[in-house]
């Protein structure tokens, strides 16, 4: 459950990171590919080497979607409806992988925000990303 | 036995040599108690854990964080035999402390986030993260190994 304070904090953080969405997104993806090689199997059609155009644009896409969801967390199911359909019927990414990316996103945030990524911010972000992933997988079955 | 590449050994020793257990340990443990509040069940004798500020200022949390983080030294010194090196500690956590072994995994996550925040993206690269997480995963597995 996210409190009003937590929702505000999450919204603020993602607003600030929107201008560097490509950096944040590609960093998190690279970390995921390095620590969890199985995740690379979903990207055989792209060049996901460090610094590649595909990696940057894909990372940017993901972060912008997360930031959009953060703008009004109470409306996550509405905001994510098209992405729900995409993931359930086309991409069909095993939802376990959402946890792996969420973890790497938290590490990326810690790296970039340093001491600003307080335990309170970490708790809020972990809850938000879990909720995001849960909504994303709602149409799977 | 776990196979370590030279790059992984280098990453782990580089990180470890720059980690102050008295600094990282308390931060990791207080983060665990804030982010995963149900873990407080093991610390009913620690006093005030009612708010993140109270947890951060709690001397028992700090001392225990230092102790736990210091326990990683065993793994660093026994990289090729981590499972056996932790056998006694594993038995203790199971039979005496009755700690759910899933908590080891969750604490490892908190340690990783604190280390990442400390070192930043240019030191804590994707490659270093991979080695560090693999290292912690082996420790986590070893600590749960003697449960029965």
Q: Which residues contact B101 (CB under 8 A, 6 or more apart)?
A: B93, B94, B140, B143, B144, B147
pLDDT, tens only, B66-110: 999 999 999 999 999 999 999 999 999 999 999 999 999 999 999
Mean pLDDT, residues A90-97 = 92
Domain-embedded: residue B36: yes
Domain CATH code at residue A43: 1.10.490.10
Residue of chain B whose Cα is closest to the Cα of A33:
B126
> What is the complex's ipTM, to 2 decimals?
0.84
Domain assignment of residue A21, given as a range:
4-140
Domain-embedded: residue B1: no
Distances (CA, A) of A17 to A21, A36, A134, B88: 6, 25, 23, 46
- Asked whether the beta carbons of residue A34 and residue B119 sit closer than 8 angstroms, the reply is no
Residues of B in contact with A113 (CB under 8 A): 117
Q: Which residues contact A131 (CB under 8 A, 6 or more apart)?
A: A2, A73, A76
How high is the pLDDT of residue B1?
Answer: 82
Q: Which residues contact B126 (CB under 8 A, 6 or more apart)?
A: A27, A30, A31, A33, A34, A35
Is residue B30 less than 8 Å (CB to CB) from chain A? yes
The total domain count for chain A is 1
The structure tokens listed for A132 are 């995001």
- Asked whether the beta carbons of residue A117 and residue B117 sit closer than 8 angstroms, the reply is yes
**What does the DSSP assignment read for B87-118?**
HHHHHIIIIIS---THHHHHHHHHHHHHHHHH
pLDDT, mean over chain A: 96
Domain assignment of residue B104, given as a range:
6-144
The total domain count for chain B is 1
Say what the pTM is. 0.91
**CB atoms inside a 10 Å sphere around CB A5:** 10
How high is the pLDDT of residue A131?
Answer: 98
């Amino acid at each position: 459950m996210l409190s009003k304070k937590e929702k505000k904090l999450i919204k603020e953080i993602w607003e600030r990171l929107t201008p560097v969405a490509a950096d944040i997104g590609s960093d998190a993806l690279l970390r995921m590919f390095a620590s969890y090689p199985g995740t690379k199997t979903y990207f055989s059609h792209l060049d996901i080497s460090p610094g590649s155009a595909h990696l940057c644009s894909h990372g940017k896409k993901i972060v912008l979607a997360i930031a959009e969801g953060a703008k009004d967390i109470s409306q996550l199911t509405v905001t994510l409806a098209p992405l729900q359909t995409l993931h359930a019927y086309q991409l069909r990414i095993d939802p376990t992988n959402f946890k792996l990316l969420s973890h790497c996103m938290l590490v990326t945030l810690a790296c970039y925000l340093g001491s600003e990524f307080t335990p309170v911010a970490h708790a809020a972000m972990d809850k938000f990303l879990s909720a995001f992933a849960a909504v994303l997988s709602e149409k799977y079955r | 036995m776990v196979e370590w590449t030279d790059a992984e050994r280098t990453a782990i020793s580089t990180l470890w040599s720059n980690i102050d257990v008295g600094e990282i340990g308390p931060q990791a443990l207080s983060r665990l108690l804030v982010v995963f509040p149900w873990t407080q069940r093991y610390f009913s004798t620690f006093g005030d854990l009612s708010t993140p500020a109270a947890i951060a200022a709690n001397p028992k949390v700090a001392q225990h964080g230092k102790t736990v983080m210091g326990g990683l030294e065993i793994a660093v010194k026994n990289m090729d035999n981590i499972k056996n090196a932790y056998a006694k500690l594993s038995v203790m956590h199971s039979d005496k402390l009755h700690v759910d072994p899933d908590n080891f995994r969750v604490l490892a996550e908190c340690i990783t986030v604190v280390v990442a925040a400390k070192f930043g993206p240019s030191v804590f690269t994707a490659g270093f993260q991979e080695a560090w997480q693999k290292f912690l995963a082996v420790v986590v597995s070893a600590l749960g190994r003697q449960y029965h």
